[in-house]
Amino acid sequence: MFVAATTQCFPNRSLDSAIEKLADLEFSHIEIGIHEDSEHIKPSEVVSDMATCYDKINSTRRLTVTGLSLDIAEEGEDYFKTFIKCCELAKLSKIVTLTVPSGEHGTPFNEEVERYKQLVKIAEQHGVRVAMRSKVGNISADPDTVSVICGHVKGLGLSLDPSHYHFGHPPEVATYEKLMEYVHNVYLRDSTPDNLQVRVGQGIIEYGKLINLLRKSGYDRALCVDIQPDPELDHDGELRKLRLLLESLIMV
């Protein structure tokens, strides 16, 4: 395992500025966000000018790109056409993991299964893999649902974000151990049942326990720090603190 950070930690900076900041904070690996509402790379830009997007991804000050986080606004066939372009970009850039949000609560189960089956089929044709991201408000917020979908869709993984299983639930309810076999990526911050993001050390995320569970399942990829700007937090300090903590734990 190794420690990374997502460029989405700096959503209001340009991609170049976000990468520079993460390099200054001594991260060696990064995930790049491709979101339509982002200042980094937009899915529509991947469709219209892939060459420029490729250059951006390969101008990372020697930081290794571990994956892409996708948030595609289009629907229907246009959604899949844009996804194909993102897969082509990932293949060109030698990036393996694409994180894709699941549907919101209320999305028909069968519809979501069929969508992910199509995404996995497209991704496999380009030598990349798809992982759904844990998120409050989406169907991936329920571990049982995630387990069933991943069981139905061979090759589909999970971008595990433990905070989204703790937030809004009593501590004893937040269980996601059975999902370890599906984990392709991990996002981390500290959280409580009442707050999705708190200062590192003031929440209930058991990083050591999680790392041990991941080790037992054979996971050897990124632990991706995802701490959002907050006027009540020393943002740079929190990013640095969690990086150092995770690095110390994976060396044990």
- pLDDT, greater one: 24 or 62: 24
Q: In this structure, what token pair is assigned to residue 104?
A: 């919101």
Phi, psi of 32 (to 5 degrees): -110, 130
Count of beta carbons in the 10 Å neighbourhood of residue 28: 16
pLDDT, tens digit, 9 for 90 and up, residues 96-124: 999 999 989 888 999 999 999 999 999 99
Read off the amino acid at residue 109: F
pLDDT, tens digit, 9 for 90 and up, residues 47-58: 999 999 999 998
CA–CA dist 41, 34 (Å, integer): 5
Decide if pLDDT at 168 tops 90.
Answer: no
Structural domains of the chain in order of their starting residue, each with its CATH number: 2-250 (3.20.20.150)
- pTM above 0.85? yes
